Structure 1
Amino acid sequence: MPTSSMGGGAPPAAVSATGLRKSYGDKTVLDGIDLRIPAGSVFALLGPNGAGKTTVVKILSTLITADAGQARVAGHDIAASPDGVRAAIGVTGQFSAVDGLITGEENMLLMADLHHLPRRERRRVAAGLLERFGLAEAAGKPAHSYSGGMKRRLDIAMTLVGDPRVIFLDEPTTGLDPRSRHTMWQIIRELVSGGVTVFLTTQYLEEADELADRIAVLDDGRIAAEGTADELKRLVPGGHVRLRFFDPAGYRSAAGALREAVRDDEALTLRVPSDGSQRELCSLLDWLDAAGVEADELTVHTPDLDDVFFALTGSGAPAGTGRGDRTQENVR
């Protein structure tokens, strides 16, 4: 989990934006976006497909211009000093910049050339980054022979050639297997521990929960909510304890005693409102004991980022499907 910034005052903003707007014809993609991202942190931008996540990244990285609004990245105004922004950032998107026809080392050297590194520095920087990302042994092989995870690591290594202060990762783990995704998470943590600021867009809610110091949910071109993962989870009601019974008679008896519970007669389950805290669970268990109710299975559901996402983006999701479900069987 991310660590909080310590110190007396707020850290300087690595990225700030006010009133960013962008339209394509009659379609408004961004409708007034405000952001402030402290230096040395991970900021995650969540949203459904078409919400405008990639458009935000393209504007802040100077690939396209905003119709209105202002923004500064690494101390440079994106409109007045785009070259300064480009010199201070790295961008890795869903589609790799890796050239599959040349080797991993040649990809790195090509990037070093583009950054105009001195000739003696090029091989040293390339070799160091290939080693850092576990690609030294494959450095002489054509990049098309790399696995998806290796290509993504090479892509980020290439991004770091210019020693950027801010890195934009636009859905960097899309299509990766779980092992490669966790490897990428560790790389991102190491980058931030070295002082880099990471702007992450993702559709993986677990990824934002694991990595981000702050999260914003983008929906229909607007920021629907912003805060830490815990702050966002507290916005959504719906915590409950799910009691399951194998004996229909026991279920009927419990349903009569727990009149505030939501019944599911077909599944022999009761949902009792609860915030999932230890105090509430102890109280519920004591009450069940006193009432002579014996559930065969107990599941605690606390709102997670799945619930936040569905609530704030107007999508529906069945209750109890998030990662907040924790099951304890035969608890009575």
Structure 2
Amino acid sequence: MKVSELIEQRRAQWLEMEQLCQEASGWAWRRLPPEKVLRLAALYRSTCADLALAEASLLPSNTVNYLHQLVARGHNLLYPSRMFNFAAWRRELLQNLPARLITDRCVWLAMLIFWGGFFGAMALAAIRPGTAEQAVGAEMIEQMEEMYSEPVSSLSVNERGLMFGFYVKHNTGIGLRCFAYGLIFGVGGLFETLSNALTLGAIFGHMFTSDYRGNFVDFVTAHGPFELTAIVLSAAAGMKLGFSLIATGGASRLASLRRTAHETMPTVCAAMVLFFLAAIIEGFISPSPAPYAAKLTVAIVSLVMLFLYFVVLGIMGHRRRAA
């Protein structure tokens, strides 16, 4: 039998495949019965062989072009490109991530260590003069007092833009250090989180009782909620990875680390987003000449947003997953 005759005998299968491709076009692909999907896959493989034979036998160009188009349609249906799935991302960001964070023991541990150390150091520095100098050094305290001896609202627009770039780098560095130290079996993250908490708490406590508290409070109020929350999330993600090297669940340390890294990546991304938002506020709103009431409003709105996302959506997502 000639190749041309053999190819022509296959035309009925081509027409069947063309009909299946027509049925599966667009959103109808998701409703296609499994047996038709399997049939389409079989027809696709055989049509690919027909195309190769047609090209090798130098059949008419119209037949070769028809098979090319048919194979391309089948390939696009069976092997679609991965497009951005908005529904999946929305479910991950608004349901899964808040639900995981509110039940994550590392997040609660990081919160306890950070806020406990922060408020403890702040109270001690405010009550006992000289504590801040002992905690962070007299040179650091002198630099802070010099920095806030004048209102920061005197900065120009260009200077605020430079501050924004500096704070993006500075804030990201803090988060990466908290995250990286957590890889030391979680213990490094504990010490780095506590160190940041004690340092910040001592500075806050000292500045609140200094002659420059007005300028200091005017600057730190607006961006504080996002920045401090981001530090906690970075520390929690690092500690979770570090602890995975100890509690492997029967897997190898490398396998445990890989699994936990996949789980913690959304937490790291959330922390980076909060650091970026804090840098925007810290660079443009905190040093602006806007009245303190406006900056306090920004802080309150930020706190409400954090509460709605991490607590309200977290509880709702957890209940939905448990149902």
TM-score, normalised with respect to structure 2: 0.22
Q: Which has the higher strand share?
A: 1
More helix by share: 2
Normalised by the size of structure 1, how large is the TM-score? 0.21
Structure ID, larger Rg: 2
